[in-house]
Amino acid sequence: MVSADFSVNSGAVFTEAIGNDRLDLLTDYPFTRLANLLAPITPRANVAPVLLTVGEPQHTPPAIIEETLRAGASGWNKYPPVGGTPEFRAATGDWLTRRYDLPAGLLHADSSILPLSGTREALFMLALLAVPTQKAGRQPAVLMPNPFYAPYEGAAVMAGAEPVFLSATRETGFLPDLDALTPELLERTALFYLCTPANPQGAAATPAYLAKAIALARQYGFVLAVDECYAEIWLDAPPVGALQVAAGLPYADGKPWSNLLVFHSLSKRSSAAGLRSGFVAGDPALIGRFSRLRSYGCAGMPLPILAASTALWRDEAHVEENRAAYRAKFAAAEAELGGRYGYYRPAGGFFLWLEVGNGEEAAKRLWAEGAVRVLPGAYLSRSNPGEPNPGEAFIRVALVQDTDTVAQACASIVRILG
């Protein structure tokens, strides 16, 4: 059972077992673990700390946000509808159709899109939608890449499923090997979280890979959730999306999106993590059920934020500026790190996934000797029985600061880690 400490007015402290014991199956969140790891260390260097841990772009957010929030201020006194506004659905539907070259009219925005107050809460809530009591007479499985975005595991565990960690290493192209999934596992799979471009490795799934994942979801009757929140941060070519691939596959009964949901966010695309704005799109049957579930449990996206988000999804100029900034940062990082720590240029996203021997030790040294804060790879991954933790030897470096800061931090990494 879970134990909690209660402070009462008398000053007495007592411990009582309460609550949902599934929570005990989770470790602390990666950034809490990092805070605990680094708390005893005072950086020696007399320099300002450089935070390269959280995927929180520090670019100036587009002016559109402030303008539209001010113009829409009369909406703050209204509860927002779970489905958002028709304008928001149209803007995101149009964006998906443009970005992924979908046949005109194939995506019906009103039945296929829901706004999300950031994708994290909905990626988490999705497991409550997708995980039944049993699947194929057994405990349902939720598949995810390893390493992975922490809420996938939290969602699986809290929904009563078994999280299954699929190695995504250099050997597998940094994505799970779909050919290694056994029928025994797939039969009890309720939900599969895929992330492309992947956090942390930046690998992008090919059309063939996504087509295979979609086919498996349909054959075995599970929900395929494709987390595409880094889709707009790319260096050379826009990564393909799951809806784009689904649109090109044969489908029956006018249902191109069966079993499929994709998640998109403004946090990275528009450097607006604080806006808490994203959306989910795909299978109208799942969207309808998700809408019902969300009526009970979601925060809803406030009307002014819906208006700001609508304007952002209709604007590409600020996104192109962002991409140019990331290109400059990757060039600066490559100049310092190229040829070391297995450096490679990721297909998408803004992370470096560097092989440094021991990620925790490296994170401690970088903080102690250079005031550079990075995340040990092991905090994003799990050990499967008999296998090494695929993140143990790595650090994740988020290129979220400006180019000069990134260049200096990368020089510090080389100086300190050798």
Phi, psi of 184 (to 5 degrees): -60, -40
- Which two three-digit tokens encode residue 288? 């309808």
Query: What residues line the site for ligand PLP (CB under 6 A)?
Result: 55, 118-120, 149, 195, 199, 227, 229, 265, 267, 273, 278
At its nearest, how many Å lie between ligand PLP and the CB of residue 119? 4
Residue 84 or 256: the one with the smaller Cβ distance to ligand PLP is: 84
Query: What is the rounded distance in angstroms from the CA atom of residue 183 to the CA atom of residue 226?
Result: 21
Residue 242 or 417: the one with the smaller Cβ distance to ligand PLP is: 242
Read out DSSP for 186-204?
HHTEEEEEEESSPTTT---
Residue 258 or 265: the one with the smaller Cβ distance to ligand PLP is: 265
Residues recorded for the chain: 418
Residue 301 or 393: the one with the smaller Cβ distance to ligand PLP is: 301
Residue 199 or 381: the one with the smaller Cβ distance to ligand PLP is: 199
Residue 223 or 273: the one with the smaller Cβ distance to ligand PLP is: 273
Report the relative pairing of strands 375-376 and 13-18 from DSSP bridges: unpaired
CA nearest neighbour of 321 among 71, 68, 64, 49: 64
At its nearest, how many Å lie between ligand PLP and the CB of residue 199? 4
Strand, helix or coil for residue 93 = helix
Residue 229 or 312: the one with the smaller Cβ distance to ligand PLP is: 229
- Which two three-digit tokens encode residue 40? 């005893």
CA nearest neighbour of 126 among 100, 149, 107: 149
Residue 34 or 273: the one with the smaller Cβ distance to ligand PLP is: 273
Structural contact between residues 198 and 167, judged by C-beta atoms closer than 8 angstroms? no
Number of H helices, E strands in the chain: 15, 14
At its nearest, how many Å lie between ligand PLP and the CB of residue 354? 17
Using alpha carbons only, how large is the chain's radius of gyration in Å?
Answer: 22
At its nearest, how many Å lie between ligand PLP and the CB of residue 118? 3
Report the relative pairing of strands 189-195 and 223-227 from DSSP bridges: parallel
Query: What is the rounded distance in angstroms from the CA atom of residue 375 to the CA atom of residue 34?
Result: 7
Strand, helix or coil for residue 330 = helix
Strand residue runs (E) in 233-333:
260-265, 278-282
At its nearest, how many Å lie between ligand PLP and the CB of residue 287? 18
- Which two three-digit tokens encode residue 316? 């590409």
At its nearest, how many Å lie between ligand PLP and the CB of residue 356? 21
Query: If you ran DSSP here, which 8-state letter would residue 234 be given?
Result: B
Residue 126 or 229: the one with the smaller Cβ distance to ligand PLP is: 229
At its nearest, how many Å lie between ligand PLP and the CB of residue 116? 7
At its nearest, how many Å lie between ligand PLP and the CB of residue 300? 15
Q: How many CB atoms lie within 10 A of CB 365?
A: 17
Residue 258 or 267: the one with the smaller Cβ distance to ligand PLP is: 267
Beta bridge partners, 172, equal none
Cα torsion 168, 171, 174, 179: sign: negative
At its nearest, how many Å lie between ligand PLP and the CB of residue 57? 10
Query: What is the rounded distance in angstroms from the CA atom of residue 102 to the CA atom of residue 86?
Result: 20
At its nearest, how many Å lie between ligand PLP and the CB of residue 56? 8
